[in-house]
Structure 1
């Protein structure tokens, strides 16, 4: 049975490293579906650093908007797909004047129908801080929170990563499924 995963955490919490480790343990043909767009020098450096850190362990697919379509296409050749990250995807949708709720609904439907590949979604938990002082930031925070709630309903496993330590919010603790396989 394919188990989809949602990994939440703050900036630089270790959520991506944790997710990469999950992906590498979960499949033999992993893909890294990146939603970031390198629109300035600092972001180009970040993207290059992330790619170099992954090396050749993942096939990288870049898609800033059409996430559901990209997942369906990637599932043809890959048994696990790591999506990093949903908050950048939501930002891209907002800046493109897209209907974020509709895209999240489509993503949820895609996850429900997608059985051929495990999907690991990575996202920043942005709702733990102070209330933002401007309307766009509040809209972003609210949309991200709603997306997280919707996707947490669908995903089998949900983790929250703090200081590099994953906490299980829903489903199996990391490594639990692998332990059962080795015990059998």
Structure 2
């Protein structure tokens, strides 16, 4: 089973993804995004809420390397925070057109999608960000466009895609 769970902010996608694996004895929860800093209490509270919901038998792995997914049941939450971490690490937010960040990003994405395509029991969580307003800033447009590409690439290797809206799930 490989499932991509997508939806808007606070739609219930993480809770749905966790419920898909709730009956598994062991799950590796991969948190691939930036870790909370001391000066961001709101982000720290979000991370703490996610940690508190996880069963005690689940193992957490905080890593931005999705090209090396563990075996067994795996939940990755979320591809949007993974993308943010990649853009941070590559210095892509302010990169110019001559920068080589895109080649390095594409290699990381290829490795991550390949790992996902061979996983036996995987649930990926991502965000839908391209359904409305065009972002005012170039960095917002970059993120939106790349996340759309990331979502398409992972969806292509998944057995199902679940869209979560207002806590309701639509299997696409």
TM-score range, shorter chain: 0.7 to 0.9
Aligned residue in 2 for 1:84: 77
* Cα contact 1:83–1:120 (8 A) shared by 2: yes
Query: What CA distance in whole angstroms lies between the structure 2 residues aligned with 1:57 and 1:10?
Result: 28
* Gapped regions of structure 2 (runs ≥ 5): 91-100
CA–CA separation in structure 2 for the residues paired with 1:55 and 1:30: 9
What is the rounded CA distance, in whole Å, between the counterparts of 1:154 and 1:46 in structure 2? 29
In the alignment, structure 1 residue 42 sits paired with structure 2 residue 45:
no
Normalising to structure 2: TM-score of the pair?
0.85
Look up the SS of the partner of 2:21 in the other structure.
helix
User: Structure 2 residue aligned with 1:122, among 122, 125, 136?
Assistant: 125
Between the aligned partners of 2:57 and 2:46, the Cα distance in structure 1 is 18
- Root-mean-square deviation (Å): 1.4
**Alpha-carbon spacing, 1:141–1:151, altered in 2? closer, same or farther (3 Å):** same
Report runs of 4+ in structure 1 exceeding 3 Å deviation. Answer: none
Which sections of structure 1, spanning at least 5 residues, go unmatched? 170-184
Secondary structure, aligned partner of 1:94: helix
Which of 86, 89, 94 is the equivalent residue of 2:87? 94
* 8 A Cα contact 2:79 2:125, kept in partner: yes
Structure number having the greater helix percentage: 1
Equivalent in 4, 14, 19 of residue 6 of structure 1? 4
Identify which of structures 1 and 2 has the higher relative contact order when contacts are C-alpha pairs closer than 8 Å and 6+ apart: 2
Distance in 1 (CA, whole Å) between partners of 2:124 and 2:86 is 17
Name which of 26, 31, 41 aligns with 1:29. 26
The TM-score with structure 1 as length reference comes to 0.80
